[in-house]
A and B are shown apart, each in its own frame.
Chain A
Amino acid sequence: MSSPLLQVNDLKKHFPVRGGVFSRKSNWVYAVDGVSFEVERGETLSLVGESGCGKSTVGRAILRLFDITGGQVVLDGQRIDDLSPGGLRSMRRRVQVVFQDPFSSLNPRMRVRDILAEPIRNFGLAKSAAELEAKVAALIDTVRLPRDALGRRPHEFSGGQRQRIGIARALAAEPELIVCDEAVSALDVSVKAQIVNLLQDLQREFGLALLFISHDLAIVEHMTHRVAVMYLGKIVEMAGRQQIFTAPRHPYTKALLSAVPVPEPGAIRNPIILKGDVPSPINPPSGCRFHTRCPFVFDRCRTEEPELRSIEGGRWVACHLEALPGQN
Chain B
Amino acid sequence: MSISTTSTAPVPPGLVIAPQMQDLLLPVAIRRGVFGFLRNHPTVAIGGALLLCLVFVGIFAPWLGTVDPTALAPARRTRLPSADFWFGTDALGRDIYSRVLYGARVSLTVGLSVAVLSSLAGLAIGLVSGFVRWADSILMRFMDGLMSIPPILLAVALMALTRASVGNVILAITIAEVPRVSRLVRSVVLSLREQPYVDAATASGTRTPMIILRHILPNTLAPMLVQATYICASAMIVESILSFIGAGTPPTIPSWGNIMAEGRALWQVKPYIVFFPAAFLSVTVLAVNLLGDGLRDALDPRMAKSL
Q: Verify A108–B219 contact, CB threshold 8 A.
A: yes
A60 to B215, CA, bound (A): 19
Residues of A contacting B215 with CB < 8 Å? 107
Q: Verify A65–B199 contact, CB threshold 8 A.
A: yes
Q: Verify B199–A96 contact, CB threshold 8 A.
A: no
In the complex with contacts A107-B215, A110-B214, A122-B203 CB distance below 8 A:
no
Does any Cβ of A come within 8 Å of B200's Cβ?
yes
Residues of B contacting A107 with CB < 8 Å? 197, 201, 214-215, 218-219
A89 to B305, CA, bound (A): 34
Q: Verify A166–B205 contact, CB threshold 8 A.
A: no
A-B contact count (CB 8 A): 66
Q: Verify B219–A122 contact, CB threshold 8 A.
A: no
Q: Nearest CB to that of A179 among chain B residues?
A: B203
Does any Cβ of B come within 8 Å of A92's Cβ?
yes
Map CB proximity to A onto B186-200 as digits: 1 under 8 Å, 0 otherwise: 000000000111011
A166 to B200, CA, bound (A): 9
The answer, among A60, A97, A100, A118, for a CB contact under 8 Å with B206, is A118
Q: Verify B197–A63 contact, CB threshold 8 A.
A: no
> Nearest Cβ in chain B — how far from A247, in angstroms?
36
Q: Verify B219–A96 contact, CB threshold 8 A.
A: no
Q: Verify A92–B301 contact, CB threshold 8 A.
A: no
Residues of A contacting B196 with CB < 8 Å? 99-101, 104-105
Map CB proximity to A onto B226-267 as digits: 1 under 8 Å, 0 otherwise: 000000000000000000000000000000000000000000
Does any Cβ of B come within 8 Å of A119's Cβ?
yes
A99 to B214, CA, bound (A): 20
The answer, among A93, A101, A108, A110, for a CB contact under 8 Å with B205, is A93
A172 to B205, CA, bound (A): 12
Which residues between 256 and 271 of chain A lie within 8 Å of chain B, taking CB atoms?
Answer: none
Which residues between 110 and 146 of chain A lie within 8 Å of chain B, taking CB atoms?
Answer: 110, 118-119, 122-123
Which of B204, B207, B214, B301 has most A Cβ within 10 Å?
B204
A173 to B68, CA, bound (A): 68
In the complex with contacts A108-B219, A108-B301, A110-B214, A63-B204 CB distance below 8 A:
no
Q: How many residues of B contact A (CB 8 A)?
A: 19
Residues of B contacting A99 with CB < 8 Å? 196, 199-200
Residues of B contacting A204 with CB < 8 Å? none
A201 to B304, CA, bound (A): 35
Q: Verify A105–B200 contact, CB threshold 8 A.
A: yes
Q: Verify B203–A95 contact, CB threshold 8 A.
A: yes
Does any Cβ of B come within 8 Å of A109's Cβ?
yes
Which of B197, B219, B304 has most A Cβ within 10 Å?
B197
Residues of B contacting A110 with CB < 8 Å? 214
> Nearest Cβ in chain B — how far from A151, in angstroms?
15
Residues of B contacting A48 with CB < 8 Å? none
Q: Verify B197–A104 contact, CB threshold 8 A.
A: yes
Q: How many residues of A contact B (CB 8 A)?
A: 30
Q: Nearest CB to that of B194 among chain A residues?
A: A104
In the complex with contacts A104-B197, A105-B196, A65-B205 CB distance below 8 A:
no
Q: Verify B305–A106 contact, CB threshold 8 A.
A: no
Q: Verify A65–B203 contact, CB threshold 8 A.
A: yes
> Nearest Cβ in chain B — how far from A85, in angstroms?
8
Q: Verify B202–A104 contact, CB threshold 8 A.
A: no
Q: Verify A123–B205 contact, CB threshold 8 A.
A: yes
Residues of A contacting B201 with CB < 8 Å? 107, 118
Does any Cβ of B come within 8 Å of A155's Cβ?
yes
A119 to B210, CA, bound (A): 12
Residues of A contacting B203 with CB < 8 Å? 63, 65, 92, 95-97
> Nearest Cβ in chain A — how far from B270, in angstroms?
54
A35 to B275, CA, bound (A): 74
Residues of B contacting A60 with CB < 8 Å? 199
Q: Nearest CB to that of A101 among chain B residues?
A: B196
Q: Nearest CB to that of B199 among chain A residues?
A: A65
Does any Cβ of B come within 8 Å of A12's Cβ?
no
Map CB proximity to B onto A43-74 as digits: 1 under 8 Å, 0 otherwise: 00000000000000000100101000000000
A93 to B219, CA, bound (A): 26
Residues of B contacting A166 with CB < 8 Å? 200
Residues of B contacting A89 with CB < 8 Å? 205
Q: Nearest CB to that of A22 among chain B residues?
A: B137
Q: Verify B195–A63 contact, CB threshold 8 A.
A: no
The answer, among B200, B204, B304, for a CB contact under 8 Å with A108, is B304
Does any Cβ of B come within 8 Å of A315's Cβ?
no
Residues of B contacting A289 with CB < 8 Å? none
Does any Cβ of B come within 8 Å of A169's Cβ?
yes
A119 to B203, CA, bound (A): 9
In the complex with contacts A109-B219, A155-B304, A155-B305, A173-B204 CB distance below 8 A:
yes
Residues of A contacting B205 with CB < 8 Å? 89, 92-93, 119, 122-123, 173
Q: Nearest CB to that of A153 among chain B residues?
A: B305
Q: Verify A105–B218 contact, CB threshold 8 A.
A: no
A95 to B204, CA, bound (A): 9
Q: Verify B199–A119 contact, CB threshold 8 A.
A: no
Residues of B contacting A106 with CB < 8 Å? 197
Task: Using A105-B195, A107-B201, A123-B205 as known contacts, list a sample of 14 further A-B pairs with CB atoms less than 8 Å apart, ordered by residue number in A.
Answer: A63-B203, A92-B204, A92-B205, A93-B204, A97-B203, A99-B199, A100-B196, A104-B196, A105-B197, A107-B218, A110-B214, A118-B201, A122-B204, A155-B304
By a beta-carbon cutoff of 8 Å, the part of chain A in contact with chain B is: 60, 63, 65, 89, 92-93, 95-97, 99-101, 104-110, 118-119, 122-123, 155-156, 166, 169-170, 172-173
A/B interface sample: 9 pairs, CB < 8 A: A63-B202, A65-B199, A92-B204, A99-B199, A100-B196, A101-B196, A107-B197, A109-B219, A118-B201
Q: Give the 8 A-B residue pairs with the shortest CB-CB distance, closest first.
A: A119-B204, A122-B205, A105-B196, A99-B196, A109-B218, A107-B197, A92-B205, A97-B203
